[in-house]
Amino acid sequence: MDAALSYLPELLKGLGTTLELTFASLLLGCTLALLFTLVLTLRIRVLNSLVRLQILLFTGTPLLVQIFLIYYGPAQFDLFKNSRLWPLLSEPWFCAMLALALNSAAYSTQLFKGAIDNVAPGEWEACYALGMTKAQSLRNVILPHAVRRALPAYGNEMILIMKGSSLASTITLMDLMGYASRLNARTYDTLTVFTMAGVIYLVLTGIMTLLVRLLERKALAFSR
């Protein structure tokens, strides 16, 4: 027990990076998912096909592979190395965040699109009766309603992204798992180190679950 507590300060050094990575990924991923949902619902040519391709790639391949490709891939091409984007693409934090965000966007788009498909036809008809176009109806009425309906499932996606952020340590990012790996390499106390890391992730998951439930209650109360 004393050994476990002595490891805690070292592990908590990576907590801030884990939280920053999680919330930045969720923010960008949710923004992209809403845009992708609009594209799919409005059936915008070319963009519609690109969004479907993005969903196929990021839901059909492992997150770890996506992180590796985004971090190590651009370094293989002079086009990227000589571009203004290289300072970002060479940063482990940015690459991990981008991979998590694109992965989250792919799954979240499916959630939001499914919620829109389940909206009663009467809601669309009511919007049209008020003189709204399809785009206006979608942006102002249908999409906000659908997002509230999809919130319970999206809460699970948020938790998955938080846990998935642990893979960022594989590209040298010193997050919670990064410090756990370094501590394990120094102490060889594998069971204790990773048990403590698991407990911290469990606490984070519990807190996020409570926050999502509170958000669900407010959203559902607002929709009544």
| pLDDT at residue 137, as a whole number | 83
Is the CB of residue 89 less than 8 Å from the CB of residue 80? yes
Backbone CA torsion sign across 171, 177, 182, 186: negative
| pLDDT at residue 180, as a whole number | 94
In percent, how much of the chain has pLDDT > 90?
60
CA distances from 217 to 80, 94, 148, 152 (A): 45, 33, 10, 10
Kindly report the number of other CB atoms within 10 A of residue 151's CB atom.
Answer: 20
Integer Cα distance of 117 and 103 in angstroms: 22
Q: CATH no. for residue 65?
A: 1.10.3720.10
Q: What does pLDDT average to over the chain?
A: 89
Torsion of CA 198, 200, 204, 206, to 10 degrees: 70
In percent, how much of the chain has pLDDT > 70?
97
Residue 182: pLDDT band with limits 50, 70, 90 = very high
Domain that holds residue 138: 2-223
- Give the total number of structural domains in the chain: 1
| pLDDT at residue 183, as a whole number | 93
| pLDDT at residue 6, as a whole number | 86
Residue 147: pLDDT band with limits 50, 70, 90 = confident
Is the CB of residue 71 less than 8 Å from the CB of residue 95? yes
By mean pLDDT, which of 132-136, 166-170, 189-193 is the weakest?
132-136
CA distances from 67 to 4, 72, 84, 154 (A): 31, 8, 21, 22
Residue 153: pLDDT band with limits 50, 70, 90 = confident
Of 27, 98, 185, 26, residue with least CA distance to 177: 185
DSSP 133: -
Q: What is the mean pLDDT of residues 71-85?
A: 89
Kindly report the number of other CB atoms within 10 A of residue 16's CB atom.
Answer: 11
Q: What is the mean pLDDT of residues 194-204?
A: 94
With a cut of 90, say whether residue 163 has pLDDT above it: yes
Backbone CA torsion sign across 92, 155, 200, 163: negative
User: For 10-54, what is each residue's pLDDT tens digit?
Assistant: 999 999 999 999 999 999 999 999 999 989 988 888 899 999 999
CA distances from 17 to 11, 31, 88 (A): 11, 21, 17
Backbone CA torsion sign across 170, 171, 177, 183: positive
With a cut of 90, say whether residue 221 has pLDDT above it: no
SS3 178: helix
Q: What is the mean pLDDT of residues 136-141?
A: 81
Is the CB of residue 19 less than 8 Å from the CB of residue 166? no
